[in-house]
């Protein structure tokens, strides 16, 4: 397989990791075995992103809607997350990876939140890959929270309503200060956004694959990046204009 061009890598890759349940069902195993196998894909994709020199990787690990799943599955997923964070801390420190969390932190069970906050704290100074875990995350919820925070600032006289622009809104999102995703991947065959990064994904190139998340590994990521590099990103301009601005 050809190698991606290092000069035009996506700066930020976001992934909807779908298909764990079906992967397990196909093998006659309980769904949680699919999530467990999914953790191995997470490890592989984090390693590959770091090696490639990707700036930001955002993984949709648990949505605001996922709380509606059977309590045993929610509990098992939280257990996997905790175990992942505990076992990966040393590797993240060693590999210069910095962990962040996007989502409703207060809904995360305290024993998971504690480990997560420790990993965030201990990796905060790292300057390599930024790994965002979207946990209890929902795009509409994120935008609503931003609107509330902005309204409070206006009420308190810290901000004039006329001064609210896109940059102000962005500063109130979980992703404040990070580049928008250039490439958004969804595994597992569905072709929807499912409330993921609704604001940030406005201009993302979307890549859908039938591959189920536990089968998605480095080669599949390279494939998605190569596909991304073949596309022309126009940001509303004509093809000719886009060619001129990207050659500058």
Write out the catalytic residue numbers: 18, 66
The 3-state DSSP class for residue 46 equals: helix
| Apex 213 CA angle, 210 and 217, nearest 5 | 100
List binders of ligand FPP among 163-192 (CB under 6 A). Answer: 188
| CB contact at 8 A, 205 and 231 | yes
When the beta carbons of 105 and 234 are compared against ligand FPP, the nearer one is: 105
- Minimum distance from CB of 182 to ligand FPP (Å)? 21
Q: How far is the CB of 66 from ligand FPP (least distance, A)?
A: 5
Residues 38-57 that bind ligand FPP (CB under 6 A): 38-39, 42
Kindly tell me which of 137 and 228 has the beta carbon lying closer to ligand FPP.
137
In the numeric block, which tokens belong to residue 204? 């993302």
Q: How far apart are CA 120 and CA 35, in angstroms?
A: 23
Residues 61, 66, 69, 72, Cα dihedral to 10°: 40
Q: Residue 37 CB, nearest distance to ligand FPP (Å)?
A: 8
Query: Quick one: 77 or 184, whose CB is closer to ligand FPP?
Result: 77
- Which of 80/150 has CB closer to ligand FPP? 80
Nearer to ligand FPP, 54 or 150 (CB): 54
Are 170 and 176 within 8 A, CB to CB?
Answer: yes
Report yes or no: 41 and 17 within 8 Å, Cβ to Cβ. yes
Count Cβ atoms within 10 A of the Cβ of residue 131 and give its class: 0-12 exposed, 13-18 middle, 19 or more buried. Answer: buried
Q: How many residues bind ligand FPP (CB under 6 A)?
A: 20
Using CB under 6 A as the binding rule, the residues of this chain from 80 to 109 that contact ligand FPP are: 80-81, 84
CB of 97 to ligand FPP, least distance (A): 13
Measured from the CB of residue 187, what is the shortest distance to ligand FPP in angstroms? Answer: 9
- Nearest residue to ligand FPP, by Cβ distance, number only: 21
Q: CA angle 232-131-46, nearest 5°?
A: 80
CA distance 235 to 129: 26
Question: In whole angstroms, what is the distance from residue 35 CA to residue 77 CA?
Answer: 7
For ligand FPP, the binding residues in 17-36 under the rule CB under 6 A are 17-22, 35
194 lies in the binding site for ligand FPP (CB under 6 A):
no
- Site for ligand FPP, rule CB under 6 A: 17-22, 35, 38-39, 42, 59, 61, 66, 77, 80-81, 84, 133, 188, 213
């Amino acid at each position: 397989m050809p190698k991606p061009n290092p000069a035009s890598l996506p700066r930020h890759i976001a992934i909807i990791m779908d298909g764990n349940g079906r992967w397990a069902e196909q093998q006659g195993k309980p769904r949680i075995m699919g999530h467990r196998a999914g953790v191995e894909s997470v490890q592989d994709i984090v390693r590959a992103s770091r090696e490639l020199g990707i700036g930001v990787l955002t993984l949709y690990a648990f949505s605001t809607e996922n709380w509606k799943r059977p309590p045993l599955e929610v509990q098992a997923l939280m257990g996997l997350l905790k175990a992942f964070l505990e076992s990966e801390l040393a590797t993240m420190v060693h590999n210069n990876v910095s962990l962040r969390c996007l989502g409703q932190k207060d809904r995360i069970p305290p024993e998971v939140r504690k480990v997560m906050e420790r990993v965030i704290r201990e990796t905060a100074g790292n300057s390599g890959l930024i790994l965002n875990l979207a946990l209890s995350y929902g795009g509409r919820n994120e935008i609503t929270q931003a609107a509330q925070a902005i309204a409070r600032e206006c009420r308190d006289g810290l901000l004039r309503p006329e001064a609210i622009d896109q940059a102000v809104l962005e500063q109130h999102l979980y992703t404040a200060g990070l580049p928008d995703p250039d490439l958004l991947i969804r595994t597992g065959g569905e072709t929807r956004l499912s409330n993921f990064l609704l604001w940030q994904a406005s201009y993302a190139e979307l890549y859908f694959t039938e591959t189920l998340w536990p089968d998605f590994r480095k080669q599949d990521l390279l494939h998605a990046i190569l596909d991304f590099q073949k596309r022309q990103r126009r940001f509303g301009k004509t093809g000719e204009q886009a060619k001129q601005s990207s050659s500058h």
